């Protein structure tokens, strides 16, 4: 089964013009993929495990209130169309970023929420990393907690997954590093004492102790890009969404942890 | 078109001007980039400074530093393993010795993609900083 999948993936990538031998040498085998959670200290794990101790739950609770609040010129709440999020949003975050037919490209969960606001609530978009957007995203994503990630399975997303992979593999910035140099080749090592990890985004938006806040995957990606001394992509840039999509496709079948806690 | 090409040439010359020329012989750069030996005491301080990036990946004989990396070999004994000229090339352009290395080229401004504006056109370390670090590493003997 695993062999068949490997061959299928290799065939796909070959069709997309990738050099397969290099791929096999660098990518982490499916069976060895580990959530960032497994790299954490018992103390930090305990914070994530207990909803009454997990600070991310404060955003989830805010998100639940926002879900029911009427807003925009249409004076509609999310709940007026989607009703109980526990049913309607279950499993959604595991499929995101997802293909948007109108735009002809993938959108992430934050962008989907803002598209919904514009189209159905006639409300202004919430700024990236604002309390309200993080809260709504966390509330929606939490409805998928424990469900396996399937993002990137839609065949229409194939070219975008490939572009995200290209960004992940490409060396850039003053330090001339690619994401792959750390997160595929050295994930079991430590960068100035901190675990490198495998860059499998299972719990976003997540509470990062370093931030003392909830934050999005794009915020985390931009942090890494600052470290690499690259020209940082703007929030919502297609390149960042493609990278998000590729990372989620790497986390295929892993359970959603939102709201996760990380050091 | 020609004007743009001329502009490009000028820009390249300007960025190249900041970098002093060096000659690679075998696997080393024999001559100091500044023409003078570096300051080993200052070199040690530079190695420990986060912005130099050394200890993000390397560890070494730095008992006062709690957070050291293990993505690359320990710097302990570097001065026994390599000559000063070999250390210099390893800082200036390690990728010449191993194209797949994750060790950045600390004295390079060309052939890089999407460098952030704050760092564009500048090498990671200056010639003086490289000489100071080389002088310090040479003192790390087993």
* Average pLDDT value for residue range A34-40: 98
Structure tokens at A79: 């709940």
**pLDDT of the residue at A26:** 74
Inter-chain touch B115–A185, beta carbons under 8 Å: no
- Element at B87 (helix H, strand E): helix B84-93
Nearest CA-CA distance, residue B117 and chain A, Å: 7
Q: How far apart are CA A38 and CA A53, in angstroms?
A: 19
Question: Is pLDDT of A25 > 70?
Answer: no
**pLDDT of the residue at A21:** 38
Question: Cis ω on the peptide bond leading into residue A102 (within 30° of 0)?
Answer: no
Q: How far apart are CA A144 and CA A92, in angstroms?
A: 7
**pLDDT of the residue at B17:** 52
DSSP string, A10-61: HHHHHHTT--HHHHHHHSPPGGG---GGGGS-HHHHHHHH-TTT-THHHHHH
Q: How far apart are CA B57 and CA B101, in angstroms?
A: 12
Residues of A designated catalytic: 224
Domain ranges of chain B: 2-137
pLDDT digits (tens, 9 = 90+) for A117-152: 999 999 999 999 999 999 999 999 999 999 999 999
Q: How far apart are CA B89 and CA B71, in angstroms?
A: 20
Q: How far apart are CA A182 and CA A240, in angstroms?
A: 18
Residue A146, class by beta-carbon neighbours within 10 Å (0-12 exposed, 13-18 middle, 19+ buried)? exposed
Share of residues in chain B with pLDDT > 70 (%):
88
Q: Confidence class of residue A258 from pLDDT cuts 50, 70 and 90?
A: very high
Domain covering B2-137: architecture: Orthogonal Bundle (1.10)
**pLDDT of the residue at B98:** 96
pLDDT digits (tens, 9 = 90+) for B47-101: 999 999 999 999 999 999 999 999 999 999 999 999 999 999 999 999 999 999 9
**A230 in contact with B, Cβ within 8 Å:** yes
**pLDDT of the residue at A11:** 46
Chain B residue with minimal CA distance to A231? B116
Among residues B55, B33, B36, the alpha carbon closest in space to that of B44 is found at B55
Inter-chain touch B102–A226, beta carbons under 8 Å: no
Contacts of B23 (CB under 8 A, 6+ apart): B29, B30, B31
Q: How far apart are CA B102 and CA A26, in angstroms?
A: 14
Q: How far apart are CA B106 and CA B82, in angstroms?
A: 18
Q: Confidence class of residue B19 from pLDDT cuts 50, 70 and 90?
A: very high
Chain A residue with minimal CA distance to B51? A227
Which of A192, A193, A194 is the best substitution to test chain B (most B C-beta atoms within 10 A)? A192
Q: How far apart are CA B43 and CA B131, in angstroms?
A: 8
Structure tokens at A13: 């990538």
ipTM: 0.89
**B71 in contact with A, Cβ within 8 Å:** yes
Residue A155 phi/psi, 5-degree rounding, is -60, -25
Which of A39, A173, A174 is the best substitution to test chain B (most B C-beta atoms within 10 A)? A174
Q: How far apart are CA A117 and CA A111, in angstroms?
A: 10
Q: Are A133 and A140 in contact (CB under 8 A)?
A: no
Question: Is pLDDT of A66 > 60?
Answer: yes
* Average pLDDT value for residue range A234-260: 98
Question: Is pLDDT of B3 > 50?
Answer: no
Inter-chain touch B102–A189, beta carbons under 8 Å: no
Chain B residues within 8 A of A172 when measuring between CB atoms? 112-115
Inter-chain touch A173–B113, beta carbons under 8 Å: yes
The dotted CATH code for A34-263 is 1.10.760.10
* Average pLDDT value for residue range A171-191: 98
**B98 in contact with A, Cβ within 8 Å:** no
């Amino acid at each position: 089964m695993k062999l068949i999948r490997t061959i299928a993936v290799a065939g796909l990538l070959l069709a997309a013009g990738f050099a397969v031998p290099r791929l096999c040498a660098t990518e982490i085998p499916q069976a060895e993929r580990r959530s960032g959670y497994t790299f954490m200290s018992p103390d930090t794990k305990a914070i994530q495990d207990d909803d009454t101790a997990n600070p991310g739950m404060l955003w989830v609770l805010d998100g639940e209130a926002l879900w029911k609040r009427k807003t925009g010129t249409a004076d509609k709440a999310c709940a007026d169309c989607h009703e109980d999020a526990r049913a309607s949003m279950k499993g959604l975050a595991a499929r995101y970023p997802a293909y948007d037919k109108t735009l002809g490209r993938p959108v992430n969960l934050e962008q989907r929420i803002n598209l919904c606001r514009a189209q159905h609530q006639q409300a202004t978009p919430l700024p990236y990393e604002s309390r309200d957007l993080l809260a709504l995203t966390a509330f929606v994503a939490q409805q998928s907690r424990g469900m396996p990630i399937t993002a990137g399975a839609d065949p229409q997303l194939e070219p975008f997954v490939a572009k995200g992979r290209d960004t992940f593999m490409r060396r850039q910035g003053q330090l001339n590093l690619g994401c792959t140099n750390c997160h595929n080749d050295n994930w079991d090592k430590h960068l100035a004492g901190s675990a490198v990890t495998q860059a499998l985004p299972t719990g976003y938006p997540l509470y990062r102790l370093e931030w003392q806040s909830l934050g999005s995957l794009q915020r985390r990606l931009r942090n890494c890009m600052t470290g690499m001394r690259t020209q940082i992509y703007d929030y919502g840039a297609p390149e960042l969404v493609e990278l998000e999509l590729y990372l989620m496709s790497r986390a295929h079948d892993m359970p959603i942890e939102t709201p996760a806690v990380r050091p | 078109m020609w004007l743009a090409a001329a502009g490009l040439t000028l820009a390249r010359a300007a960025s190249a001007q900041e970098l002093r020329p060096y000659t690679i012989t075998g696997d080393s750069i024999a001559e100091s980039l500044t023409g003078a030996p570096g300051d080993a005491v200052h070199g040690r301080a530079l190695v420990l400074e986060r912005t130099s990036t050394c200890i993000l990946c390397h560890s070494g004989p730095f008992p006062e530093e709690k957070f050291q990396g293990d993505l690359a070999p320990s710097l302990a004994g570097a001065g026994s393993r390599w000559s000063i000229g070999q250390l210099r090339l390893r800082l200036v352009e390690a990728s010449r010795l191993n194209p797949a290395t994750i060790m950045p080229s600390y004295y390079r401004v060309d052939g890089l993609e999407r460098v952030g504006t704050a760092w564009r056109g500048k090498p990671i370390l200056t010639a003086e900083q490289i000489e100071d670090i080389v002088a310090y590493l040479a003192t790390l003997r087993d």
